Amino acid sequence: MGGLSLAQLRDQILAGTRERHFIHGDVTGTPTKQVVSTMVYIPKFKTAGLPQPELNGLELGGFWVDKYQCSHPNATSTTRGTSTPNSPGTAIAVSQAGVVPWTDIDWNNAKIACENRFVDGGQCHLMTPKEWAAIAYLSWLLNPDLKGNTNYGRDHRDANSWENFGIKDPLAPTPPTGQIMTRVLTGTGPSTWSHNGQANGVFDIVGNVWEWVDLLIEDGVYAHAKTAKINDADGITAADSTIALKNIEYPAWPASGVVTIGTEDIKYTSFLDNGDGTGALIGCTRGYNGTTAASAANNAVVTLKLRYCIAPPGGAAAKLTANITASQTTIPYSYPDNYRGPELPNAGTIQIDNEQITYTGKTATELTGCTRGANGTTAAAANAGKGFATVDLNFNYNVTATGDYGQYGYAKLNALSIDPELKYLALPASVSSGGNSGYKNMHGYWWRAYKQRAALRGGYWGGGSVAGAFALALNDLPSYASSYIGFRACKSI
């Protein structure tokens, strides 16, 4: 941090923060009118002041983010601008103040609405987990008591007084008895709802509506993608066992693992890192995982996906290596490619879709002593390749329910991950029922460790203390849409 005090660092970052009004069309193709999206530049900075010292000094920032939660280009203070919010078509998501936010849209369509926007010759995108983390970390430095609409129009920490409320969204759900509103119009709260506590900040990161973020998990596992490019003027053949790389995305790649080039999976046994962004994959097995070996040109993208179990936090995940019946008491398993742990415990409980299974023993390839249909669930057959994760019995809710929205876990943030990759994403590493006073006993985490789930961050109007910049929900399918879910766009530079 160059010897700067926290106060000096805050002043430096605030001086580099600026907002800009980007003019663009309302739809892709031939626009019917011009609209304005207000975006805030998040300057490059190093994290500081966090309760976990391992998270201080991270280099983040250097991008544009929507100042306000997105709205439809035709939205006003009394209309949402469209009768089909979950079908954006060519409509371009807009960042504007004092209008009805664009809600009732699923994760996939939120991505489309963001990507429909081009400004300064570049395409916008749904906020990435790293971009969200940058703003969350930055708000902790600039406005550590960041507030928002977490209690029916005001922050749960503020008095029930006129000046603490946003402006009521007339299309929002009816408030419960004793409350006067739920959702508010974009950016209409006090400056304490801004990430830096200033009028030029990013509003409503905490509360109002949950926001989709570009992160998916599958059966409790998050696949963190890193890339490089082939560094060979002649490209590679289908038989090459050494692949030269450039533009390697750091931190360093694992010593052995599996990468993907095009549609081919390739297993390597050694990674050579030259320390300058170049290196090589050595001892390659081509056409791995039943894929077909193929040639690839120079500069072709090489993707490495590191897999982490993040649901439940601190849990473990694996996959079935063979079909299982509803009655068998030995479960064959292996870990996913590039799995970063932790390993399954020697005894415990796992969840395969709606079934919970307890086991009393473990070998390198099997779980033994299994009790099927544990905790009142129903035993079921499952196919090879199906993923599963452990169950944290301290946070095991709705256990016997079936379907896409059955069992889930919920707790408050205790600590964020300090993994070399995950620390840049502000993902929970541990949770507790009451949270951590260092994180102000806020920031809820919800998860379902079966099927695909898309990330929501920030909380909503009724969240109270479980809302927060680090709040995370991984319990909804990407196809889910609701009046309490919205989104915002970012633009890389």
User: What is the full per-residue pLDDT of the chain (493 aa) written as tens digits?
Assistant: 457 787 888 788 877 788 999 999 999 999 999 999 999 999 999 999 999 999 999 999 999 999 999 999 999 999 999 999 999 999 999 999 999 999 999 999 999 999 999 999 999 999 999 999 999 999 999 999 999 999 999 999 999 999 999 999 999 999 999 999 999 999 999 999 999 999 999 999 999 999 999 999 999 999 999 999 999 999 999 999 999 999 999 999 999 999 999 999 999 999 999 999 999 999 999 999 999 999 999 999 999 999 999 999 999 999 999 999 999 999 999 999 999 989 999 999 999 999 999 999 999 999 999 999 999 999 999 999 999 999 999 999 999 999 999 999 999 999 999 999 999 999 999 999 999 999 999 999 999 999 999 999 999 999 999 999 999 999 999 999 999 999 999 999 9
Among 308, 307, 400, which residue's Cα sits nearest to residue 351?
Answer: 400
Measured torsion, CA atoms of residues 238, 241, 246, 248, in degrees rounded to the nearest 10? 110
CB–CB of 372/360 below 8 Å?
A: no
| β strands within 360-486, DSSP E | 361-362, 366-368, 387-390, 409-416, 428-432, 444-447, 452-457, 472-476, 485-486
CB–CB of 219/448 below 8 Å?
A: no
- Listed in sequence order, the residues at least 6 apart from 484 whose beta carbon sits closer than 8 Å to its beta carbon are 103, 173, 183, 209, 210, 460, 461, 462
Q: How many residues does the chain have?
A: 493
211 bridge partner residues: 457, 486
- Count of C-beta atoms within a 10 Å radius of residue 59: 11
Burial of 137 (0-12, 13-18, 19+ CB in 10 A): buried
Between CA 260 and CA 242 the distance in angstroms is 14
